[in-house]
Amino acid sequence: MNVTKRRAIFERLRAANPKPTTELVYRTPFELLIAVVLSAQATDVSVNKATATLYKVANTPKKLLALGEANLKEHIRRIGLYQTKARNIIALCRLLLEKHGGEVPAEREALEALPGVGRKTANVVLNTAFGQPTIAVDTHIFRVANRTGLAPGKTVLEVEQKLLKTTPDEFKHDAHHWLILHGRYVCKARNPDCPHCPIRDLCDRKLAPADQNGTSAKTAHPRTTRAIPVKTGSSKPHQNKTGGAT
């Protein structure tokens, strides 16, 4: 894909949503970190429901440690993998207190050393809590990057590195949220809404003529009607059902 098309894609996504952000509810870097850890293979909606009650009683490492693993499990038991997540969160809180004075570090290496925190989670926290131009590739971004031709790749790490290399600087910080929201609501895994897609004329996938005009109710888009499996090629990547954690 050439630079002009790439730029045009981000300009349109920006025009539609000038200030994109995560759908996870949080007030502090710590609340965001815990929400992102919880969002692995869970919807943002389910995480927001759990944290709405959890954060009323415990929203700092110290308070979560005091709450204890058993009580934490009660708050998050409707979220997938909650047992492992509860164990990781308690260990994560302990480490934050021991090594970082209870604060969330703003460095990738320190973040990835925390239990339950992989490259994707670290990218989300660095981007959303600390304003760094990282691009966390989840299942949605992986799919959109491959379908559109923005950054074709076989692994999440390959896609992330291509996006970082080719995305113009002015779009880099928000690219993560634009692409994730586009994948979640328009370029969906099973039924991409090509007829109403704002970047359909820029997408590398070949569309049927009716779709290019936005007049077809159904897309004749056979290669985009199934999810593209994510091959994880980074250190500890994970994917969410909704691309949550963003």
Phi then psi for 155, rounded to 5 degrees? -130, 160
Q: What is the DSSP string of 151-179?
A: S--SBHHHHHHHHHHHS-HHHHHHHHHHH
Is 141 a residue that touches ligand SF4 (CB under 6 A)? no
Write out the binding residues for ligand SF4, residues 143-162 only, by CB under 6 A: 147-148
Is 187 a residue that touches ligand SF4 (CB under 6 A)? yes
Is 179 a residue that touches ligand SF4 (CB under 6 A)? no
Tokens encoding 101: 């004075």
- Residue recorded with tokens 């994510």: 230
Output the smallest distance, CB 204 to ligand SF4, in A.
Answer: 8
Residues carrying an active site annotation = 120, 138
Is 238 a residue that touches ligand SF4 (CB under 6 A)? no
Per the document, the length of the chain is 246
Q: By CB under 6 A, name the one of 205, 214, 216, 233 that touches ligand SF4.
A: 205
H or E stretch including 26?
A: none
Q: By CB under 6 A, name the one of 185, 193, 206, 220 that touches ligand SF4.
A: 193
Output the smallest distance, CB 206 to ligand SF4, in A.
Answer: 10
Is 224 a residue that touches ligand SF4 (CB under 6 A)? yes
| Distance (Å, whole) CA 72 – CA 90 | 9
Residue closer to ligand SF4 (CB basis): 125 or 194: 194
- Residue recorded with tokens 């056979």: 222
Using the contact rule CB under 6 A, the part of the chain among 37-45, 50-58, 160-168, 184-192 near ligand SF4 is 184-192
Q: What is the DSSP string of 10-24?
A: HHHHHHH-SS---SS
Output the smallest distance, CB 144 to ligand SF4, in A.
Answer: 6
- On whether the CB atoms of residues 143 and 183 are closer than 8 A, the answer is yes
Output the smallest distance, CB 187 to ligand SF4, in A.
Answer: 3
List the end-to-end C-alpha distance of the chain, in Å, as a whole number.
26
Output the smallest distance, CB 192 to ligand SF4, in A.
Answer: 4
Residue 234's closest CA among 123, 140, 150? Answer: 123
Sites of contact with ligand SF4 (CB under 6 A) = 147-148, 186-187, 192-194, 197, 199-200, 203, 205, 224
